[in-house]
Amino acid sequence: MSLGIFDSGVGGLTVFREIARLLPNQDLIYLGDTARLPYGSKSPETILRYTLECAEFLLSKKIKLLVVACHTASSLALEYLQKELPIPVFGMLRPGVELIRESALQKVALLGTEATLSSKAYQKILSQECPQIEIFKVACPLFVPLVEEGMHLHPLSIQTAEYYLAPLREKSIQAALLACTHYPLLTDAIQQSIGPSVCLLDPSERCAQNVKLALQNEHLLEPASKSPQYQFYTTDYPDRFARLAKQFFGMPLSLDINKLELNKNLNYS
């Protein structure tokens, strides 16, 4: 059985890559809801609805575990999915909080979408688990479109990072959590603007480790002899998705990507 992974776009591939690395025998199905991104500027109700539709599609593929590779969807819909779905559901908040907690830092920036930050989902857990930490929230709404346009190395990305992050330089922060799965693709621009001494925390590897552990505990790991199959779906522009997947992750340009329309009577085949 496969694992299902989804995000609004290519950002979740940063998590896909780590899962594929740590679970090299596992079949994976990835869905990028490219027709409806960005999620980060949508209302909580809309994000919940989109997330449920993505989950519903992946469930129709008989997955054994779901990874919500999107901090925005995790912030707004993870609790609901974990309660309602008949399979284990993993999100991005827990791995992010674990990295912060283990780092024993005092001043941490939380970089995410507007919806993630205004949901206060991170702030709620952090105030319970790491009450000593001072959090500096910065919403960076232009980062997602820059990545989706393949402009992560363009000077505009550096200018945008400078615009959002330069004010942090006088706050003496020690680390910044990349609380959006698109942001690791802008690591260079972010590091340059936030300052070389600030440690950038990317929770995607920890997410993959947590998934591996859960599969191990449930005896659901695939045998080492199995070669994995990967399937990709997008809700719009499969060609652009393939181009970005090649540019960011070296995946073959001829990547076979299926285009689907979500919620068309929820009758997926």
Interactions with ligand DGL, residue window 99-158 (CB under 6 A) = 113, 116, 144
Binding string, 165-204, against ligand DGL, x = CB under 6 A?
---------------xxx----------------------
Angstrom distances, CA of residue 186 to CA of 28, 139, 178: 25, 14, 10
Least distance to ligand DGL from the beta carbon of 54, Å? Answer: 12
Nearer to ligand DGL, 113 or 160 (CB): 113
Gap between the Cα atoms of 72 and 75, Å rounded? 5
Q: Do 120 and 184 meet the contact criterion of CB atoms below 8 Å apart?
A: no
- Assigned token pair, 184: 């690791």
Nearer to ligand DGL, 42 or 105 (CB): 42
Binder among 17, 71, 152, 206 for ligand DGL (CB under 6 A):
71
Q: Tell whether residue 68 is a contact of ligand DGL (CB under 6 A).
A: no
Nearer to ligand DGL, 198 or 207 (CB): 207
Q: Tell whether residue 244 is a contact of ligand DGL (CB under 6 A).
A: no
Binder among 2, 4, 11, 109 for ligand DGL (CB under 6 A):
11
Binder among 26, 34, 72, 204 for ligand DGL (CB under 6 A):
72
- Assigned token pair, 124: 């709620």
Q: Give CA 211 to chain center in angstroms.
A: 14
Nearer to ligand DGL, 29 or 47 (CB): 47
Nearer to ligand DGL, 24 or 33 (CB): 33
Stretch that binds ligand DGL, among 36-44, 95-103, 149-157, 256-264 (CB under 6 A): 36-44
| Residues designated as active site | 70, 180
- Specify the amino acid at residue 71: H
- Phi then psi for residue 7, to 5 deg, are -150, 175
Stretch that binds ligand DGL, among 54-62, 70-78, 164-172, 207-215 (CB under 6 A): 70-78
Looking at beta carbons, which residue is closest to ligand DGL? Answer: 40
Least distance to ligand DGL from the beta carbon of 166, Å? Answer: 22
Residues that bind ligand DGL (CB under 6 A): 7-8, 11, 37-40, 70-72, 113, 116, 144, 180-182
